[in-house]
Structures are given as C-alpha cells and as structure tokens.
Amino acid sequence: MVSGNAFPYWRFSNFYLFYFAVLGALVPYWGLYLKSLGYSSSQIGELLAILMGTKMVAPFIWGWMADRWGRGMFIVRVASALAAVCFGGIFLVSGYWPLALVMATFSFFWNAALPQFEANTLNQLGRDTHRYTHVRVWGSVGFIVAVVTLGPLLDRVGVGLMPQVVLGLLAGIWVASLVSPEHRATAEHPPHERLGRVLRQPRVVALLVACFLIQGSHGPYYSFYSIHLDDLGYRGATIGQLWALGVLAEVVLFIYMHRLMGRFTLRALFMVTFALTTLRWLIIGTLADHWPFLVAAQLLHAASFGLYHAVGIQLIHRYFVGRNQGRGQALYSSLSFGAGGAAGSFLAGHAWETVGPTATYLTAAAACLVGLLVVWRWVGRSEGIGNRE
C-alpha cells in the first residue's frame, strides 16, 4: 500500500496518456482510413472487430502469466514493445487478409498491456483506490488531444497519414511503460478464493454479462459514428470535436467521481450508467442530423464510458482479490471490451448495410436496456464506497 504523497502520479499517468491517445486515433479515424482504401462497411466492421476480438483472449493469457510470475509490469513492457513492432508491418502489406493479420498481431499485444497496468495501478494505490480516476483521467486527456489534433490534420493532408500517427503513439506507450514502477507485493497475500468459485457467483456472472452487453451496444458507435457523421455532411474537424466533447465530459466525471462514490452506492451508479447509455443510442440513432441533440448525446459519454468504467473496475477489484486481481481485470477487459466490442462491431457492420443506421442504433439501445435489467436484478446490491460484501 502506498500513501497518497508517495504515489508516483506522473509515472503512471503518462502510460494512460499515450495508451488512450492510440485509442483516440483508432476509434474515430481508423474506419475512415479503411474506407479510403476501398473497403465496404461489412469489411470495416470485421476489421475493427479484430481489434476488439483479440481482447477476448490476449488479456486473460497475459493476465494468467502475470499472476503466475508476479511480474505484471514486465508483461506490460514486453507487450507494448511487440505491439509497436507488429503494427509496423502495416507498411509492408496490402489487401484484406494481410491487413487483418497485422491488426490481429498488433492488437494481441496492445490489448494485453492495459489490464495488467490497471491491476498494478490499483495495487499501488492500496486503500486509496478512489483516487484511481485522478490517474486515469490522463487517458481521457490523451484521447482528446488525439481526436482534436488529428481531425484538422487529416482534413489537410488526408487519412493516409494514420499508420504513421498510430505507430508513433505506440512507441510512446512503450517508453511510458519503462518508467512506470511495479507494485512490490508483500510476503502476505490477501486471502482469495479459487478463480472457479469466484466465477460461479451469480453477482460475478451478472456483472460480466452486463459489461458484455453495454460494450456490445457501443459497436455502432466505435465502428461507424465517424462514418455516419461523414455521410450526414459533417467535416472531419467537426467530427473530431464531437469525439473530444464526449471525452471532455468523461474527464469532468473522473474529476468528481470520488464524490459520487462517497454519496451513492456502486449499484445505483451502475444503473444510471445503463439508463443514460440507452438514451444516448436512441438520440444518435434518430436525431444525429440535428447538432444540438448530437451535442447532448456526446455529453452522455460521461455515463456510457466514464461512469461505467469507474464503477466496473471498482466492482472487479472487489470481487477478484489477492492473486486473482490480474485475471479479474483481464476477464473484465476480455468479456466486455473484447467479446462485447467484437460482437458489437461485427454485427453493426452487417446491420449497417442491411437495415441502416437508425435500426442499428435502436438495436444497440435494446441491448443496453437488457443490461440495465441484469444490473437491477443481480449486481452490487450492497456495494457502497467503503464496504465489501
């Protein structure tokens, strides 16, 4: 456990800054880059699903090794370096299948790094885990900087610059990982159950199902939001500003999150997350051609990602204790951002061509509403800020 004054704040924040700057480049603009190469909507959905799909296996494989070896940051550093090396292959290939192979190999390592870094950060914070959002907020800053600067830049020079930008940011992740310290475990490990017993608990199953559903509902947003706005006549700079607005709302949420967690139960906050996310997809699906509604929908990103992640990661940290923590964070990443994100992107790609944007977003809203019912019935009935079940 580390006291607040001893916590190496900037050495952790830099990693989040670069990691989510990569996300800020890929999520809004990679679909546009693929579209510029001539790929169809279904192919774009499939290629973006690869980025999410590797999260189904990579975090858990690397998490198992980290928990077994007790070397989480070693895993982070190796994975960060290999992600940059593998992404460099994009300059050597052409065609759908070679590009798919590059995206699969680079994302296998890239997706391995974050869950182990999250576990290391939370362990380093010790009892001050409520301060996590003050560190994680720099990831949101990195995302904002990426989307705001890339929008106008790509308007001027074209989306063909994307591979160089992403490679440079991946190198930044690796450098940041080198200066981030590893949590030194004490000789006494916190008591923990066997992982199989934890995974059979109804509250854990329900939490993972709800996370899968809400991230699956993000499929149309992460894969086709920029393309949707481009088709409606919005300029690249405007699209970038809208992405940035959403993450700016997330930043504000992270800054004040410790107050919300001190006042409301995690269950109540999680239910608000799912309700507001459902509303967000309804607005984007039906009113995206009216910019005031689009602005309102982007402000709801504070709930659909910021509030969701802040509560979700706390619940995972409480349910998976001791040597299960690395695998717990890996499962959270694998089943929500991985399996949920991949399924959402894949289905959105095919739905976009067959039933259109509105029906696709309405389906996303329905999935999120089901997640709300799961949370209401099974998740976090007694988790407040300071208590454990």
pLDDT in tens, 164-199: 999 999 999 999 999 888 765 544 455 567 888 889
Q: Confidence band (pLDDT; 50, 70, 90) for 133?
A: confident
Q: Name residues whose C-beta falls within 8 Å of residue 179's C-beta, 6 or more positions apart in sequence.
A: 11, 14
Q: Quick one: pLDDT at residue 1? A: 40
Q: Beta-strand (E) ranges in the chain?
A: none
Query: Can you give the pLDDT at residue 191?
Result: 57
Dist CA 149 CA 141 (whole Å)? 12
Q: What is the pTM of this model?
A: 0.77
Residue 216: pLDDT over 90: yes
**Distance between terminal CA atoms of the chain?**
21
Which pLDDT value is given to residue 189?
52
pLDDT for the residue numbered 232: 92
More confident call, 280 vs 343: 280
Higher pLDDT, 236 or 94: 94
Residue 54 has pLDDT above 90, yes or no: no
Four-residue CA torsion sign, 97, 356, 219, 381: negative
Which of the residue ranges 82-96, 319-333, 352-366 would you say has the lowest mean pLDDT? Answer: 319-333
Helix, strand, coil shares of the chain, percent, nearest 5, are 85, 0, 15
Radius of gyration of the chain, Cα coordinates, nearest whole angstrom:
20
More confident of the two residues 389 and 322 = 322
- In this predicted structure, the answer to whether residue 326 has a pLDDT above a threshold of 60 is yes
CB 25 within 8 Å of CB 169: yes
Tally of helices (H runs) and strands (E runs) in the chain: 18, 0
Asked if residue 386 has pLDDT above 60, the reply is: no
CA distance 166 to 4: 34
The letter for the amino acid at 212 is: F
pLDDT score of 58: 83
The closest alpha carbon to 126, from 13, 5, 259, belongs to 5
* pLDDT exceeds cutoff 60 at 384: no
Q: For residues 293 and 12, which has the higher predicted lDDT (pLDDT)?
A: 293
As a whole number of angstroms, the distance between CA 20 and CA 17 comes to: 6
Each residue of 11-38: pLDDT tens digit?
889 999 999 999 999 988 999 899 999 9
Q: Quick one: tokens of 385?
A: 């800020």
Domains of the chain, residue spans: 11-183+195-378
Q: pLDDT tens across 81-129, in order?
A: 999 999 999 999 999 999 999 999 999 999 888 888 888 888 888 777 7
What CATH number labels 11-183+195-378?
A: 1.20.1250.20
Tokens 């858990």, residue?
60
Q: What percentage of the chain carries pLDDT values higher than 70?
A: 93
Q: Is the pLDDT of residue 385 over 50?
A: no
What's the whole-number mean pLDDT along residues 138-154?
89
